[in-house]
Structure 1
Amino acid sequence: MSIREKLKQWKRFAAGATAAVLCAGLLAGCTGKNPAGSSDGTAAQEGPQRYSTIFYDAFDTVTQVIAYCDSEEEFTRQMDALHADLLEYHQLYDIYNDYDGVTNIKTINDNAGTAPVQVDDKILGMLELARQMYNTTDGKLNIAMGSVLRIWHDYREAAGQTETDADNKLPSQEELDAAARHCDINNLVMDEEAKTVYLTDPEMSLDVGSVGKGYAVEMVAQAAEARGLTSALISVGGNLRAIGTKPDGSQWSGGVENPWNASEFYTSDSSYVAAVNMSDMALVTSGDYQRYYVVDGVRYHHLIDPATLWPAAYFNGVSVLAPDSGVADCLTTGLFCMPLEEGQKIVESLDGVEALWCTTDGQLVTSSGWSSHEKK
């Protein structure tokens, strides 16, 4: 395999990652713990100890967790459960693959215009949040845009197989317009009592990439807390969710990668435009530098503006700090696809939500309360 092919393969693997990253060394960490004692006879440390682990098989990205637990056995028990939860959500929200015994988003899409599909509460809850956030973002967050997003996905995937960027192609406006006729979220019919989901338009499909991972991270964090985990920082492709504080009372830290100096690959030289303190909060970023392909020297990213059906051109990155990871995930996509003034009004109207916009002219703009969370 050539170097170019290896780079393209890793680019596709890392495509699900967002740009919010850990400032506490998690990216360089591997499974391990602080020593209970050492060979020189020094005493074991008292109280909860720091452990970390990495998973590679959920949401097509890297999951990393730092946690403080009373024992390695407790940490292992917590991580086994968290990992199993993530894999379940990964399968439920998949739009490309079938799994034995699993009814997922692909199942709903496959039955569009045919019949309602009975689904798990984990799907209903996520779809209900997405519908609420559609209204909050004035339609800029629209999971019913699957037909349009699939076109862009296919062109990106085709670009990943070409030898040079000169061979890459763009969809036609006619192709996109035809697909956009099947993106009405009102054709998503949910029956809470029967626990069914039905797409009344046979040409419609759901794409939950803008909400699924964030919602899953929030749910697995809440489940871990219910199992007794009190101090942890979870990163699923850079989607950060902090549980509690560190044992000494200090907060967790999260950073926003510099979108103007970003790399497809993490390096120790990666730079950040902001760092925030986090306790029972989520930090999520959407950027134009993670999932894209190049045509005639122009980068075409994956964040599609429902108004134009083309990659949104307002910002290079948008980060949201919020108490709920699912809400933060939805908002980053919605805010990325609207003018700054509109986004500012939405953020200022939401309790506990702050945002940072990285504009295309190299400016940083923050919401009124962002600075109160900044790491000094």
Structure 2
Amino acid sequence: MGSRFDITISAKDSLSAEKYIDECIAEVSRIENLLSDWKSDTQVSEVNRNAGIKPVKVDKEVFELTKRALNFSKITDGAFDISFAAAEKIWKFDGSMTKLPSAEAVKESVKKIGYQNIILDEQHSTIFLKLPGMKIGFGALGEGYAADRCKELMMAKGVPAGIVNGSGDMNTWGTQPDGTPWTIGITNPLNKNKVFAVMPLRDNAVTTSGSYEKFAMIDGKRYAHIINPKTGYPATGLSSVTVFGPSAEMANGFSTSLMVMGKEAGLFLINQFHDLKCVMVTDTGEVFGSDNVELIPNKK
């Protein structure tokens, strides 16, 4: 998936653990071969190739994930949108970008973004992108979904405990061998070498979206890789958002959305979901949390 996966398994011996880890890797590869939008032979690439032309039949798994992605778009009023992939061509976060794209190019890219133009046909299990040039991508949900699937697979096989971490999209189950909970350290986005909070994980998932790992520096200003689907420009105001929830897919959908929505709107939304918690850090270093998070340093 173009991302690093770290898999920790609690097992009776190292051979068993390696076998289970290999099964997780196979599952991640299987999902990548369904969802990747840069591999030409995947179902998602087929959907993108037929934008504005015809509906494409996909596996139920791809259909259901797309359906859940559209639900994120609805509850976040478009702050989350898998059709943002159309804007990827004009923004590069691999170090090669030295100047901003023209306002005209950004405006043009936004014309192809719009979850309302993703048409799902449940009866025939098809996805149709109404506009030529539209594109969907699962960069914001794929790793989390894969982490969730690996957890389900391992639990079904009786593995007592573990962590699957897909480049920051993490799901856990069970406890450490000594019976204590797994713990997560939240990175200080203003100093990546420091952790400003440590929180226990009890059979739940956590995802952090941030502007401090993948960005472009242009004329001394940082432009993060999380694009606001409505404007076509990188989101600003927050340096990182960490969301705790029942699944890594859900946590990622919310953490990405909150980065785009900003502090006020983001906290208002997350506080309506009692099985979710969040910690957010602003560009100026202030720390805020949802109503159900306690003992957050510097909470204001």
CA distance in 2 between counterparts of 1:111 and 1:308 reads 25
Post-superposition offset of 1:74: 2.5
Structure 1 gaps, min length 5: 1-58, 163-167, 263-269
CA distance in 1 between counterparts of 2:26 and 2:198 reads 30
Match in the other structure for 1:9: none
Whether 1:351 and 2:274 are equivalent positions in the alignment is: yes
Give the aligned residue type for 2:220. G
Give me the identity figure in percent: 26
Of the three residues 233, 243, 249, the one matched with 2:163 is 233
Whether 1:176 and 2:106 are equivalent positions in the alignment is: yes
Post-superposition offset of 1:271: 1.0
Of the three residues 206, 222, 231, the one matched with 1:299 is 222
Which aligned pairs between 1:268-287 and structure 2 lie closer than 5 A? Answer: 270-287=193-210
Of the three residues 118, 127, 150, the one matched with 1:197 is 127
Contact 2:73 2:79 in 1 (8 A): yes
Match in the other structure for 2:20: 78
Post-superposition offset of 1:132: 1.0
CA distance in 2 between counterparts of 1:71 and 1:295 reads 50
Whether 1:123 and 2:62 are equivalent positions in the alignment is: yes
Structure 2 gaps, min length 5: none
CA distance in 2 between counterparts of 1:67 and 1:213 reads 18
Post-superposition offset of 1:170: 1.1
Contact 1:240 1:254 in 2 (8 A): no
Contact 1:314 1:338 in 2 (8 A): no
Which aligned pairs between 1:36-185 and structure 2 lie closer than 5 A? Answer: 59-99=1-41, 103-153=42-92, 156-157=93-94, 159-160=95-96, 168-185=98-115
User: Per the alignment, in what secondary structure is the counterpart of residue 78 of structure 2?
Assistant: coil
Post-superposition offset of 1:119: 1.4
CA distance in 1 between counterparts of 2:242 and 2:66 reads 22
Match in the other structure for 2:181: 251
Post-superposition offset of 1:370: 2.0
CA distance in 1 between counterparts of 2:150 and 2:43 reads 18
Contact 2:289 2:296 in 1 (8 A): no
Alpha-carbon deviations, 1:322-366, whole Å to 9, x = none?
Answer: 111101001111000113121111111112100011011211111
Post-superposition offset of 1:272: 0.9
Post-superposition offset of 1:68: 1.1
In structure 2, do the counterparts of structure 1 residues 127 and 349 end up closer, same or farther at CA, with 3 Å as the change threshold? same
CA distance in 2 between counterparts of 1:91 and 1:188 reads 21
Post-superposition offset of 1:318: 0.7
Which aligned pairs between 1:2-13 and structure 2 lie closer than 5 A? Answer: none
Misfit runs of 4+, over 4 Å: none
Contact 2:56 2:127 in 1 (8 A): yes
Post-superposition offset of 1:69: 0.9
Contact 1:221 1:241 in 2 (8 A): yes
Contact 2:78 2:230 in 1 (8 A): no
Q: CA RMSD in A?
A: 1.9
Match in the other structure for 2:136: 206
In structure 2, do the counterparts of structure 1 residues 150 and 221 end up closer, same or farther at CA, with 3 Å as the change threshold? farther
Post-superposition offset of 1:253: 0.7
TM-score, with normalisation over the residues of structure 1?
0.75
Q: What number of residue pairs does the alignment pair up?
A: 297
Post-superposition offset of 1:372: 7.7
Give the aligned residue type for 1:260. L
CA distance in 2 between counterparts of 1:177 and 1:373 reads 39
Alpha-carbon deviations, 1:266-312, whole Å to 9, x = none?
Answer: xxxx2112111002111111111111111111121111123332111
Higher Rg of the two aligned structures: 1
